[in-house]
Structure 1
Amino acid sequence: MDLYETLPKHLDMFIFRELRPDQQFQNQVAVAIDRICSFLKERCFYGYKSIKIIKTVKGGSSGKGTTLKNRSDADLVVFISQFKNFHDQKQNRAEILTIIWKMLNKIWEEIAFDINMTEPRMITLPSGLTSSPRSLSFRFQSTEVSDSVEVDVLPAFDALGQQTQTRPNAQVYVNLIMARGLGGEFSTCFTELQRNFVKCRPVKLKDLIRLVKYWYIEYVQPYKRQLCGEFLPPKYALELLVIYAWESMGGGDKFSTAEGFCTVMKLIVRYRELWLFWTTNYDFDNCYVANFLKDKLQEQRPMILDPADPTGNVAGNARWDLVAKEAKNCLKQVCAYNVEPWKVEPVKDIPISVKLENSLYRIGPFSMNPFLPIRHIKTKAKDLTSTPMSSCYLEWNDQILNEDQTLSDYGIFYSVTILLKEQTSWCSLM
Structure 2
Amino acid sequence: MWALKCYKCECCGSDFVSCKALKYHFRQKHFGKAPCEKCGQEVLRENLQDHSKSVYDRSAMERHKLNWENLEERNIKHMATEISKTCRMCSRHFGTVFSRKNHEIQEHHFTANKRAQMSIGFSPQNMLECKSPQELQRFADENIRPAPGALRAACVAEVGALLQLLRACFPVPASRVIQGGSYVKGTDTQGRSEIDVVLLSDVFANVNHCKKQLREGLDALRENLKQTSRGNRILMGKRASLSLRFNFLCAEGLHSHSFEIMACCDVLGPAPSTDLRLHLYRQLYLCHDSEMAQLWALALLPYQVDFVKASVMRVKELIRLMVHWFRTSFANSTEENKFRRLPSSYTVELLTIHIWELAGKPLLFSLVQGMRAVLKLLVRYAEIDVVWHRHYHPKFPIFVKVNQKHTRPFILDPANPTVNVCDTCNAWDEVALVARHSLLKPLFSRVRAEPPWLFTNNWFRTLPERVGSLGQLETTAMGQGRTSAFSLHNCALF
The TM-score normalised by the length of structure 1 is 0.68
Query: How far does residue 25 in structure 1 lie from its aligned partner after superposition?
Result: 3.8
Letter in 2 for 1:266: K
Tell me by how many angstroms 1:209 deviates. Answer: 0.4
Whether the 8 Å CA contact 1:61–1:74 is kept in 2: the answer is yes
* Closer/same/farther in 2, CA of residues 328 and 53 from structure 1, 3 Å limit: same
Residues in 2 aligned to 1:251 and 1:326: alpha-carbon distance in whole angstroms:
27
Is contact 1:170-1:286 (8 Å) kept? no
How many Å separate the matches in 2 of 1:222 and 1:344?
34
Query: How big is each residue's C-alpha offset from its partner over 1:184-221, in whole Å with a ceiling of 9 and x where there is no partner?
Result: 63433322111111112111110000000111111126
For this pair of structures, how many residues does the alignment match? 326
Partner Cα distance (2:205, 2:400) in 1: 26
- Kindly tell me: are residues 20 and 310 of structure 1, through their superposed partners in 2, closer, same or farther at Cα, counting changes over 3 Å? same
1: CA distance between counterparts of 2:126 and 2:164? 41
Q: Which residue of 1 aligns with 2:283?
A: 175
Q: Secondary structure of 1:62's partner?
A: helix
Give the Cα separation in 2 of the matches to 1:261 and 1:291: 32
Partner of 1:161: 269
**Residue 89 of structure 1: how far off its partner (Å):** 4.0
| Structure 1 residue 99: Cα displacement | 1.9
Is 2:189 aligned against 1:104? no
Q: TM-score, length-normalised on structure 2? A: 0.60
Could you tell me how far apart the structure 1 residues matched to 2:363 and 2:269 are? 34
RMSD, aligned α-carbons: 2.8
**Equivalent of 2:403 in 294, 299, 322:** 294
Q: Write the mapping of 1:14-413 to structure 2, written as runs, cut at 5 A.
A: 14-23=139-148, 24-45=150-171, 51-107=172-228, 110-111=229-230, 117-124=233-240, 133-142=241-250, 144=252, 146-163=254-271, 169-182=277-290, 185-186=294-295, 187-220=297-330, 222-223=332-333, 227-287=337-397, 289-295=398-404, 298-316=405-423, 317-341=425-449, 342=453
CA displacement at 1:331 relative to structure 2:
0.4
User: Greater relative contact order: 1 or 2 (C-alpha under 8 angstroms, separation 6 or more)?
Assistant: 2
**C-alpha distance in 2, partners of 1:85/1:340?**
55
CA contact (8 A) 2:170 2:217 kept: no
- 1:9 matched to 2:133: yes
Q: Deviations over 1:29-48 (max 9, x none)?
A: 32232223223334432xxx
The answer to which structure has the higher strand fraction is 1
Deviation string 1:306-334 (CA, Å, 9 cap, x unpaired) is 11222222111421222222111110001
Is 1:208–1:261's contact at 8 Å kept on the other side of the alignment? yes
Give 1 or 2: higher helix fraction: 2
Q: Sort the Cα spacing of 1:252 and 1:100 in 2 relative to 1 into closer, same or farther, 3 A.
A: same
Alignment partner of 2:420: what SS? coil
Distance 1:25 1:322, change over 3 A: farther
1:142: how far off? Answer: 3.8
Contact preservation (8 Å) 1:137, 1:150: yes
Q: Unpaired runs of 5+ in structure 1?
A: 46-50, 125-132, 346-368, 372-430
Q: Identity percentage over the alignment?
A: 26
Distance 1:325 1:223, change over 3 A: farther
Q: Deviations over 1:380-410 (max 9, x none)?
A: xxxxxxxxxxxxxxxxxxxxxxxxxxxxxxx
SS of equivalent residue, structure 1 residue 185: helix
Gapped regions of structure 2 (runs ≥ 5): 1-124, 457-461, 465-494
